[in-house]
Amino acid sequence: MNILIMAAWLLLSGDGEHKGGLLDIDPGLIFWTVITFSLLLLLLGKFAWGPIVKTLQEREEKIKNSLEEAEKARRDAESLMAKNNEVLAQAERDAQDIARKAKEAADRLKGEIAEQAKLEASKLIENAKKEIENEKNSALLSLRQQVTEMAVGAAGKIISANLDAGKHKQLVDDFIRQMPSQN
């Protein structure tokens, strides 16, 4: 196959009418292509591709680092939030506990106070009843004494005074008049 192509090549390049046929290989051009390409490879390699590739590598590194850092920051934030949530939940639980305990204590206290108040009230009532009883007794006693005295006085007066009808009536009236003042 190569031989066929070579033959076709020779045929085409053998066009003598034009100086430089389409398929003529000019050695000078080969020389200059090699020189130009080599120089370009050296120059661009040093001044263009080197810095560009270095920049690309730097950028890759930077993006990689940034992503890693962002991931780390995200993880940190997540763990921090979890911790915060934990603390918050604990606080809530504590608050509920405290409220419950306080309520219990208050209830207990309320019960105690009510009990005590009831007790004291009943004691007071008891005392009052006793007092009243005592007062009543002493009043009865003094009444009895006074009634006795009055009866004795009245009897003495009846005895000492004349027992006429007018006097008698006046005596009784006096006595009755005197009664409240002597009480």
Partner 1 sequence: MITRFFQEPQTGEAAEKVDIGGTILHHITNSHELELPIVGVVKLPHFDPIHIGGLTVDLSPTKHVVMMWFVAVLLVLVFGLIARPRLVPRGLYNFLESIVVFIREEVVRPNFGELTDRYINYFLTIFWFILFMNLLGLIPYGATATGNIAVTATLAVITFLVTQYTAIRSQGLGGFLKHLTGGVHWMLWPIMVPVELVGLFTKPFALAVRLFANMTAGHVVILSLLGLIFVLKTYFVAPVSIAFALFIYVLELFVGFLQAYIFTMLSALFIGMGLHHAHEEHGTAH
Please say which residue, 50 or 156, places its beta carbon nearer to partner 1: 50
Please say which residue, 53 or 98, places its beta carbon nearer to partner 1: 53
For residues 171 and 161, is the Cβ–Cβ distance under 8 A? yes
Q: How far is the CB of 25 from partner 1 (least distance, A)?
A: 5
Give the Cα separation of 146 and 151 in Å (integer).
Answer: 8
Q: Near partner 1 by CB under 8 A, which window of 55-63, 83-91, 94-102, 110-118? A: 55-63
Which single residue is written with the structure tokens 């850092």? Answer: 69
Q: Near partner 1 by CB under 8 A, which window of 46-54, 85-93, 104-112, 126-134? A: 46-54
The one among 4, 16, 20, 165 contacting partner 1 by CB under 8 A = 20
Instruction: For residue 7, state whether it binds partner 1 (rule: CB under 8 A).
Output: no
Instruction: For residue 10, state whether it binds partner 1 (rule: CB under 8 A).
Output: no
Give the Cα separation of 65 and 73 in Å (integer).
Answer: 12
Please say which residue, 8 or 161, places its beta carbon nearer to partner 1: 8
Give the Cα separation of 86 and 75 in Å (integer).
Answer: 16
- Inter-CA distances, 137 with 140, 154, 183, Å: 5, 25, 17
For residues 150 and 182, is the Cβ–Cβ distance under 8 A? yes
Instruction: For residue 145, state whether it binds partner 1 (rule: CB under 8 A).
Output: no
Which single residue is written with the structure tokens 């005596």? Answer: 171
Residues found near partner 1 in the complex (CB under 8 A): 1-2, 5, 18, 20-34, 36-37, 39-41, 43-45, 47-59, 62
